[in-house]
Amino acid sequence: MKLAGLVYIIPLLAGVSAQDDADRSKYSEICPDKHEDKKTYDNGYEITYLCKATGKADTLLSTDTIKNPDDCAMACNSQKGCKGSAWRYTNNECTLYSEGETSDAELRASIFMRRESPEEEEEKPEEGEAEEETQPVDCSETEHALKDCEASEKELTDKLATCNKEKKECCDGKKKCEDEKKKCEDERKKCGADKAKCEAEKNKCQAALKSCGSGSQHKAKGPAIPNCPHIHGQTARYGNRNFATWCNHLLGGARTIYKQNALPFEECLAACSKDGGCKGVQYILNTDAPCKMQGVSNGQAGPATTWMMVAAALR
């Protein structure tokens, strides 16, 4: 039944109560799995099950309340002229019909049991005796539709609740995916920036190595390269004095150059240790006279520098 029709029928359902689960179970034992299956009872009576069907209104014989489909089928067998019976689990209604043809309207909670056994021959009325015909006023289809609508309404309400739950789960999942995607994008950008920084550091190091290499080629007898960064912040003995050394730092308190020459690093510090006027060294690579002795020093590291150099202070 379409939802548009439910809007008009639902108000009529207020007085209709829900049917027992046991009655629904009796219906489910047959429908839909046994639709169009035949059944033969112990007394030889044979019927065919037709699910979601009922008889035609103009062939109705009688209506009664019967608790199960088997008893409803046997009621038709006992009724002369009965060609089929319909049983509804919603109200245990059993309706007998004079024809085995079903109504065009589908009735969800109904099973039609069409007689397949030949019917015993009925006595013909005596000549001149009029055969009585009873045409009761039938409202059963309307009542069936109302009761069927109740079951449909509950089914649709349950489906709607399930749909809303799945929709919420889907929306929550979508938001989680979007958050994860944004997080991944941020991390990707950060990785890109880190990569660029590493590339720059790499290029800088390669340039420094190249510069060191070229210096040694042009000055075969040039100064030895200090072992930086391993000697940074360390104290070691050169000549007859101890020196504290710092890589890529100026010498703290240094002002003017006391003496300068092209001695290698260790020889430079050894010469300073023997010179009473030398208080420290600023050893600057890639210059003609890297050994620059200082006459003034506070014995500490000065500011950091980008030059390739070592500061050494007497201890």
Q: What is the pLDDT of residues 104-146, one digit of tens each?
A: 988 889 999 999 998 766 555 555 555 555 556 667 778 888 8
- Kindly report the average pLDDT of the chain as a whole number: 85
pLDDT for res 206: 76
pLDDT for res 217: 39
Q: What is the pLDDT of residues 42-99, one digit of tens each?
A: 999 999 999 999 999 999 999 999 999 999 999 999 999 999 999 999 999 999 999 9
Nearest Cα to 5, choosing from 138, 145, 139?
Answer: 145
Confidence at 19, pLDDT banded by 50, 70, 90: low
Residue 295 has pLDDT above 50, yes or no: yes
What's the DSSP call for residue 236?
A: E
pLDDT for res 136: 63
Task: Provide the token pair at 202.
Answer: 């790499």
Separation of alpha carbons 39 and 69, rounded Å: 12
Confidence at 23, pLDDT banded by 50, 70, 90: confident
Confidence at 13, pLDDT banded by 50, 70, 90: very low
Q: Give exposure, 253-284, as e/b (b: 16+ Cβ within 10 Å).
A: ebeeebbbeebbbbbbbbbbbeeeebbbbbbb
**Is-contact 71 41, C-beta < 8 A?**
no
For CATH 3.50.4.10, list the domain ranges present in the chain. 21-115, 234-312
Global model pTM greater than 0.85: no
Q: What percent of the chain has pLDDT over 70?
A: 82
- Bin 44: left if φ > 0, else alpha if -120 < ψ < 50, else beta: left
pLDDT for res 140: 76
- The CATH fold of domain 21-115: Hepatocyte Growth Factor (3.50.4)
Q: What is the pLDDT of residues 177-198, one digit of tens each?
A: 999 999 999 999 998 999 988 8
pLDDT for res 133: 52
The CATH class of the 234-312 domain is alpha beta
pLDDT for res 108: 87
